Amino acid sequence: MMKRIFDIAIACLGLILFLPVFAIIAIINGKSYGEVFSKEKRIGRNFRPFTQYKFRTTQAEERGEVARILSPDRVRGVGKLLRRTKIEEIPLLWNVLRGDMSIVGPRPVAEKYVNLFKEDYKEILKIRPGITDIFSATFNDGDYKKENMAEEYYIPVLMPEKLKLAKDYARKASLITLARI
């Protein structure tokens, strides 16, 4: 319950503080991409699907989590800045307010990855997915993009590490664990 109160407080504060940034990006994205947000289906707590909102950073249609990482060349102009600064993720605070996500928790993934690792996700999805997690804090983008990040690398190499860290966090999730991240 304390973690949820913390999440709501941080999400409200973040949305209020970033409101001017939100407005500027909405105008820029509307002109650059035709749409302000990208909407992606993710699987959340107790295997409940939800729509994850981020600022759109590509002209092309979204092709899933790994495709976005695999094709950084699809990101141009203001989208590069939004991704590099993680500003693209500000709308995820709305997902936190709705109860779909937490500030910290295992990053949500697309259904196809949950289905590939169903047994692992039975443990992980007992808690809300988060905007940030231990994997994201441990591995920066350069660590895994330089490997030419094909699904042949993502699924057998990165996913097991990601799942290990997510299960460990799910077992120990508390405000004390949160403070250590």
Residue 4 has pLDDT above 70, yes or no: yes
Residue 57 confidence class, pLDDT cut points 50, 70, 90: confident
Rounded mean pLDDT, 169-179: 70
How many structural domains is the chain composed of?
1
Q: What are the tens digits of pLDDT across the range 90-139?
A: 999 999 999 999 999 999 999 999 999 999 999 999 999 999 998 888 77
According to DSSP, the β-strands at 37-43 and 49-55 are: antiparallel
Helix (H, G, I), strand (E, B) or coil at 152: helix
Residue 71: its pLDDT value, please? 55
The domain in which residue 75 lies consists of 2-180
Report the C-alpha gap between 168 and 106 in whole angstroms. Answer: 10
According to DSSP, the β-strands at 49-55 and 130-132 are: unpaired
Residue 79 confidence class, pLDDT cut points 50, 70, 90: confident
Residue 30: its pLDDT value, please? 82
Residue 176 confidence class, pLDDT cut points 50, 70, 90: low
